[in-house]
Structure 1
């Protein structure tokens, strides 16, 4: 994979992530909140320096690994046809993790921040963005709704991803609205789970209708 403009952009976001973490580090408390329960209360802390640099490290390793994984894809599952969408989603994930890190640091400095509201709202936005690209993803080894039934049939793959795109967008929008209106966390979490679960069941139903099962 050549070092294109998008790769440079992702690296830039990762550098910004590290710079922001370094800038926050002196003013952050020794114990950084890193987990919140369903009520939005902090129930776990991580000490410096790991509490500060954990997310930049995870983001760097994850995003760079995602960039180079397609080079080892098995034959028949190369990513060339979906390369642009794949790389755009890597960029989105890098920006998302930067935003989560800043939000986490601000919560460490301000106990009044409702992390569940902001995180779930952000995940809802992420689902909307992913949904807008999901129907454009051709069959591949790394990206998309990969079930035994979608991988076995091009038609099942296409129909499942078309439905999945709508499920991600609709559920993502509902979660964003729910975050603004302070819906229960269990309801918003359920919507996000439904966005992933419904296309999987649909792929099984469509495969049975198109291909059937051997006795």
Structure 2
């Protein structure tokens, strides 16, 4: 499947979101529930028109951004090396946005389910594939774990992303495990996600100092 076909598939999910909004609007109340607490209890609303079109419009805008990134990145040739993985991330992201949007509409149509669980399952899928992308990502300015140290060393980039990919996948698995723990389920996403962010940043710094510091020491000893 070529890039253009993958983007057409992603655009299809945006169109589906709009169709869902059009079909559901006559049966929806003036204000829709759009926020839920950690326990799945509704705790916020939004005017119907805004709620119905926010996600389709936001997804469409982000789809344009995703399409532009490979063209404007100074290291665009590196993105081309993992372009298929990048494109499928775009497809999965738009699917994720469609699922959340459809879930909001379904909940407000009277279907009863734990919306927090829906979000957690969707996020788990998005996180797992993000881990896949990270393990294949080449050095660039937009996609991946972009710290000063990963952007300054190809080796630091590669090793940090190898670790980050595994941690993202582990976070996804723990998120699904968290569904078994009721009101505490959200913490099985938040805690691993925060730890992943912190660990990868610290690890990239550690690697850079060890690799570049070792190079400096070696160079100095040869003077």
TM beyond 0.5: yes
Kindly state the Cα deviation for residue 162 of structure 1 after the two structures are TM-superposed. Answer: 0.4
Report if aligned partners of 1:32, 1:46 keep a CA contact under 8 Å in 2. Answer: yes
Kindly state the Cα deviation for residue 145 of structure 1 after the two structures are TM-superposed. Answer: 0.5
Residue 203 (structure 1) aligns with: 204
Report if aligned partners of 1:124, 1:192 keep a CA contact under 8 Å in 2. Answer: no
> Which has more helix, going by share of residues?
2
The separation in 2 between residues aligned to 1:208 and 1:173, in whole angstroms, is 32
Classify the secondary structure of the residue corresponding to 1:152. Answer: coil
Kindly state the Cα deviation for residue 183 of structure 1 after the two structures are TM-superposed. Answer: 5.7
Residue 21 (structure 1) aligns with: 21
The alignment status of 1:167 with 2:174, answered yes or no, reads: no
Q: Which ranges of 4 or more aligned residues in structure 1 deviate by more than 6 Å?
A: none
> TM-score scaled by structure 1?
0.90
Classify the secondary structure of the residue corresponding to 2:151. Answer: helix
Paired residues in the alignment total: 212
Q: CA RMSD in A?
A: 2.1
> TM-score scaled by structure 2?
0.87
Report if aligned partners of 1:122, 1:176 keep a CA contact under 8 Å in 2. Answer: no
Q: Give the 5 Å matches for 1:109-148.
A: 109-110=109-110, 112-148=112-148
Kindly state the Cα deviation for residue 106 of structure 1 after the two structures are TM-superposed. Answer: 1.8
Kindly state the Cα deviation for residue 212 of structure 1 after the two structures are TM-superposed. Answer: 2.6
* Residues 206/165 of structure 1: CA separation in 2 closer, same or farther (3 Å cut): same
Residue 87 (structure 1) aligns with: 87
* Residues 180/105 of structure 1: CA separation in 2 closer, same or farther (3 Å cut): farther
The separation in 1 between residues aligned to 2:65 and 2:114, in whole angstroms, is 32
- Cα deviations by residue, 1:52-92 (Å, 9 ceiling, x for unpaired): 11111111111122112322223x45422232221111111
Q: Structure 1: state its 5+ residue gaps.
A: none
The separation in 2 between residues aligned to 1:119 and 1:59, in whole angstroms, is 16
